[in-house]
Amino acid sequence: MDRTLSTGRGAVAAPVQDSITASDNLTVRTRTGVFTGVIEEDFLNTRIFKPVPFAEPPGYTSGLVGEATSEDRLYLAVWTPANATADSKPPVLFFMTGGAAHRRDNNYRVNIFGWPNARGLKEQNLSIMDQRAALEWVYENIHHFGGDPYRIVQWGQSAGSQSTHFHSYAYYDKPLVQGYVMQPRTDLKSLGFSDYDQTNFTFVAKQLGCEFPQDAQAELECMRAVPFARISNFVGQYADNGTEPALSFYVVPNEKLIFRDYPARSAAGNVAHRPAIISNCANEFFSLITYPVNNLTAGPDPAAVLESDLTDWMCPTANSSLLRVQQGIPLYRYQNAGQYPNPNPFRRLGAYHASDLPMNFGTYPLQQYLGNSTAFEAGVSRTMQDHVFAFLQDPWKGPEGLGWYPVNSTGGRVLRFGADGGAVQKVDRMETDGPCRGIGRDDQFPSGLAFD
């Protein structure tokens, strides 16, 4: 989709004035600095600016552990049409990447650095605060790149989708965006949080020589002096080895940014009244569950996959959708069901977790090393992009121009992309959500088993 202006989340220079100059379309002046972009080598109609800092590096103002520069990842990348000017005003896609936010690195802090739950910290859920700082920077500065700050859509994938869900509740009264895309799941509870005694951070501190059981502030100050790499390596190796007790650093319910009871907050109207797309892949969990090491092609136990698909993916989507619909929020749904040779190294993967990303952005040819792209795949990708772009253009009414209407509390239609030889079909919502209500059975392969 080259018809939008896109940002991806990732010190601050002195303020300057004005925006894009007529003489040099690769130089942009913002409120926080001057940035010089380049033309994408493979996409000559696209400018890219990176890295674009949106906040001071950690260790100076955040109060978080790990003062080494490796923790300095608060940067954005900005893509725009090459001919964008300050008067262009295309919609802005604020994309939040996925990938196990409790373990891996993004251009916002995660794991112990983003969700430390340390006894000595006054603020928790620093990862959400990083993301919000990035969004605020975009809202205040994106017009310098030609984007329209009043047409921002916040799009999150996987862990980024969970964060998008959290933002829509934490900042419901000042969302800064006109719409949300949550791909795939959203969560109605705080993901099984159990570290109410704040023992995980203290355990790591003890292992790294910062044992202060009676002094939380001393523990924190000691950890601030430990190199980033040493902390990161210890936590990563501990998890990789499967050591007990297991450690987890993720969201902390503090009733400020993360909440214990999302249905209650929704019922009270404390959710951003902005249109949203919530999507799923038909076979989310097949690529995430453990495979038998001695027979990879056989695949995992189908019953275990089905159970996890419902409890961890499909039903949270159905329940979260219903809460928004009950508040009168326009809610669009789609399911990615397409199966193609190039993204499927094993035939039973089906439409697996994140397999719709290459279709959303038209990057599926980059997977040619796994197999050849097909004309059908290209057609599905174009159709999917058209529908999503209609939402980006106008989250309130844009999709209706393509016959895509919001679902309702009793039913409605879900778009199904790539099934049964059709680019898109409209199926009754009960076909995807019914199993969560005891109606019907979840069909993980709407197109049949691939490559039999």
Question: What average pLDDT does the structure give for the chain?
Answer: 83
Q: What is the pLDDT of residue 72?
A: 53
Predicted confidence (pLDDT) at residue 188 exceeds the cutoff of 70: no
Q: Which residues are catalytic?
A: 158, 284, 353
Q: What is the pLDDT of residue 452?
A: 39
**DSSP assignment of 6-29, as one string?**
EEE---PPPP------SS-TTEEE
- Report the range of poorest mean pLDDT among 20-24, 80-84, 153-157: 20-24
With helix as H, strand as E and coil as C, how does 132-148 read? HHHHHHHHHHHHHHCCC
Spatial contact of 163 and 127, defined as CB atoms under 8 Å apart? yes
Q: What is the pLDDT of residue 354?
A: 84
Please classify residue 86 by burial: count the beta carbons closer than 10 Å to its beta carbon, then call 0-12 exposed, 13-18 middle and 19+ buried: middle
Spatial contact of 152 and 176, defined as CB atoms under 8 Å apart? yes
In tens, the pLDDT along 48-77 reads 999 898 876 554 333 333 333 344 568 899
Predicted confidence (pLDDT) at residue 420 exceeds the cutoff of 90: no
Q: What is the pLDDT of residue 90?
A: 94
For residue 193, give every residue at least 6 positions away whose Cβ sits within 8 Å of its Cβ, in sequence order, or none: 250, 251, 252, 253
Long-range contacts: 404-409, Cβ < 8 Å, 24+?
404/332, 405/332, 406/275, 406/325, 406/330, 406/331, 406/332, 407/321, 407/325, 407/331, 407/332, 407/333, 408/325, 409/322, 409/325, 409/326
Of 106, 104, 133, 61, nearest to 249 by C-alpha is: 104
Q: What is the pLDDT of residue 67?
A: 37
Other beta carbons within 10 Å of 310 = 17
In tens, the pLDDT along 82-122 reads 998 888 899 999 999 876 544 444 456 778 998 899 999 99
For residue 66 the two structure tokens come to: 């790990």
- Report the range of poorest mean pLDDT among 251-265, 337-351, 437-451: 437-451
Residue whose structure tokens are 């300057």: 16
Indicate the DSSP class of residue 309. Answer: I
For the chain, what is the radius of gyration of the CA atoms?
22
Residue whose structure tokens are 């939040």: 96
Q: How many helices (H) and strands (E) does the chain have?
A: 12, 13
Predicted confidence (pLDDT) at residue 41 exceeds the cutoff of 50: yes
For residue 260, give every residue at least 6 positions away whose Cβ sits within 8 Å of its Cβ, in sequence order, or none: 189, 190, 253
- Per the model's pLDDT, the better-predicted residue between 407 and 289 turns out to be 407
Mean pLDDT, residues 132-136 taken together:
96
Question: Which bin fits 221, alpha (ψ -120 to 50), beta or left (φ > 0)?
Answer: alpha
Q: What is the pLDDT of residue 377?
A: 93
Spatial contact of 255 and 162, defined as CB atoms under 8 Å apart? no
Question: Which bin fits 97, alpha (ψ -120 to 50), beta or left (φ > 0)?
Answer: beta
In tens, the pLDDT along 276-326 reads 999 998 887 666 666 667 776 666 677 776 777 777 778 888 889 999 999
Q: In what order do the strands lie in the sheet with 424-428?
A: 38-39, 46-53, 75-81, 5-8, 92-96, 152-157, 179-183, 276-281, 331-336, 413-417, 424-428
Distances (CA, A) of 285 to 78, 171, 339: 32, 30, 15
**Domain coordinates of the chain in residue numbers?**
198-247
What is residue 282's three-state secondary structure? coil
